[in-house]
Structure 1
Amino acid sequence: MYQTEPPRPAKEILPTMYDLPSEDAGEPGLPDEFHDMQPQLLRETCVLPGYSPENIFVGADLNLYYDTRHPQWHKRPDWFLVLGIEAAQRQQDLRWSYVIWQEGAVPFLAVELLSPGTEAEDLGQTLRDVEQPPTKWQVYEQILRIPYYAVYDRYANQFRLFQLVGVRYQEMPLTEQRFWFEELGLGLGVWSGRYRMAEGKWLRWYDAEGQWLPTLAEQSEQERQQVEQERQRAEQERQRAEQAEGQLVQAARSLLAQGMTIDRVAQLLGLSAAQVESLATDGK
């Protein structure tokens, strides 16, 4: 009779991110510059007031594994945000993929950037083949139940936001192409401007005052301007001090020339006798 080992816990049996592929050449949708730049802009401006950077995870174009019964099944959101989860602190711990059964937390928000090859699936307009994995919409809405799902069509300049209400996504009304997330204390909207030399309309985060949160380049420019302002203030203070000292020298010399004693001049100018003597002889 053969002896068998006791069954291992499910987490020990399931593959980890190191076992699962981090890229798929057959994935629909081709990478382009916009799909590189837009997620980076979202990452740079996503500064949550209630969370430290160490307690959120932002993924971009990263495989998201979601089904323990089919460990190879995955989707690849263009951008997603997970709250209350530790970010990697060391290079060797950086995630290869995002594996739900490893992480224990689903995204709070997923963002898809529409392209001709993926638009129908991104908007839930495709039917699932019974022999194929579920569609992206089905995974986000019915399996992972991601609270918020955003799609952005840069060709039509259309931003749409869906919120999970009950068991279905419901499209939310937007004001001036903006949506405020009470849970985050941040809003997401369409900004018109130049990012990394490219002029256009972009998804970007904004604060409670409606101000767009700064990019890294803008932060750097703001810091440079602050340093320059401090330098200018210091220079102005130096010039004021020099001017005041010059006026004291002139006043001391004028009073001494009128025959006043050093002690009397010191009393009038609120200085010590030594200071008056120093001012009177300054420049000689």
Structure 2
Amino acid sequence: MVQLPTQSDPPLSPRQTLPTMYDLPSDNPEEPGLPDEFHFLQPLLLFLTFQPANWNPELVFSACDLNLYYSVTHPQWYKRPDWFGVVGVPRLYEGQDLRLSYVVWQEEVNPFVVVELLSPGTQEEDLGRKVQTPGNPPTKWQVYEQILRIPYSVVFSRYTNELQAFHLVGGHYAPVNLIDNRLLVPELELSLGLWQGSFRGINRLWLRWMTLEGELILTPEEEAVMAQERAERLAARLRELGVDPDELE
């Protein structure tokens, strides 16, 4: 129960007075489940490769299809990005719990980058073409640009393989010119670009995080394969030198 302040007490902050992630719903009864398999796999690849080089991994958080509560005046309002990334918050909520949702007045840090995957039903809103109607919550574009002021907003279409990126400049999103079909995010020492390859057995054009120079940031599975290949090359070289690697301790 929230304790009301006395006249001598300083005013309470939204963090102290508004609902926490434990109080707010983590599901969306109007949109049960995921719309398709791509909307599961693509955010997962972003999640696995979001590794800002200049941040401690314990202070990096990213999520797929998680409720993002953004309004201190309407604490039940939320958006549900396909993927978003945050730097400067503990990996676990208050350092101890897996998040049920992301509540900005509790976290006190807004997302740094958000990705939306276009579908026919969401295209107008994801690209900022949908207008807020009176009495209804703001659109995703308005929330990302004007309320949370997320520095980078990215939209990717699996149907056209088109990547569109926007950077917050002067309080408004401006289109970003891609470099080698990549969005450069120097603040995180990362870039976000398109990659043709196989992920979880599906070969297609995927959106994934890379270094600023364009080198792939490997998933755990890719790292394991690379380690196995290095071990096999080393074993072959030892055999060429007349050494049996199986006899080495």
Judge same fold: TM > 0.5, yes or no.
Answer: yes
Q: Where does residue 257 of structure 1 map in the other structure? A: none
Matched, 1:31 2:35: yes
Could you give the per-residue CA deviations for residues 171-200 of structure 1, whole angstroms, max 9, x where no partner exists? Answer: 111133211111111111111121111111
For residue 84 of structure 1, report the CA deviation from its aligned partner: 1.3
Matched, 1:128 2:119: no
Candidates 211, 214, 218, aligned match of 2:215? 211
Candidates 9, 25, 46, aligned match of 2:12? 9
Q: What is the CA–CA distance in structure 2 between the aligned matches of 1:148 and 1:89, rounded to whole Å?
A: 23
Q: Where does residue 248 of structure 1 map in the other structure? A: none
For residue 49 of structure 1, report the CA deviation from its aligned partner: 1.2
| Paired residues for 1:12-91 under 5 Å | 12-27=16-31, 30-88=34-92
- Counterpart contact for 2:34–2:40, Cα < 8 Å: no
Task: Give 3-state SS (helix, strand or coil) of 1:183's partner.
Answer: helix
Closer/same/farther in 2, CA of residues 91 and 67 from structure 1, 3 Å limit: closer
- Counterpart contact for 2:52–2:190, Cα < 8 Å: yes
Structure 1 window deviating more from structure 2 (176-185 vs 112-121): it is 176-185
Larger radius of gyration: 1
Closer/same/farther in 2, CA of residues 135 and 28 from structure 1, 3 Å limit: farther
Query: Is the helix fraction higher in 1 or 2?
Result: 1
For residue 237 of structure 1, report the CA deviation from its aligned partner: 4.5
Candidates 144, 151, 154, aligned match of 1:150? 154
Q: What is the CA–CA distance in structure 2 between the aligned matches of 1:100 and 1:21, rounded to whole Å?
A: 15
For residue 218 of structure 1, report the CA deviation from its aligned partner: 1.3
Q: Relative contact order: is structure 1 or structure 2 higher (C-alpha 8 Å, sep ≥ 6)? A: 2
Closer/same/farther in 2, CA of residues 127 and 153 from structure 1, 3 Å limit: same
TM-score (ref. length: structure 1): 0.77
Q: Where does residue 107 of structure 1 map in the other structure? A: 111
Q: Which amino acid in structure 2 is aligned with residue 6 of structure 1?
A: P
Closer/same/farther in 2, CA of residues 210 and 92 from structure 1, 3 Å limit: closer
User: How big is the alpha-carbon RMSD for the aligned residues of Structure 1 and Structure 2?
Assistant: 2.3
TM-score (ref. length: structure 2): 0.88
Matched positions, count = 237
Closer/same/farther in 2, CA of residues 208 and 131 from structure 1, 3 Å limit: closer
- Counterpart contact for 2:130–2:139, Cα < 8 Å: yes
Q: Specify every segment of 5 or more residues in structure 1 that has no aligned partner in the other structure, as ranges.
A: 241-284
Q: Which amino acid in structure 2 is aligned with residue 111 of structure 1?
A: V
Q: What is the CA–CA distance in structure 1 between the aligned matches of 2:150 and 2:131, rounded to whole Å?
A: 20
For residue 54 of structure 1, report the CA deviation from its aligned partner: 0.6
Q: What is the CA–CA distance in structure 2 between the aligned matches of 1:15 and 1:95, rounded to whole Å?
A: 14
Q: What is the CA–CA distance in structure 1 between the aligned matches of 2:168 and 2:96, rounded to whole Å?
A: 35
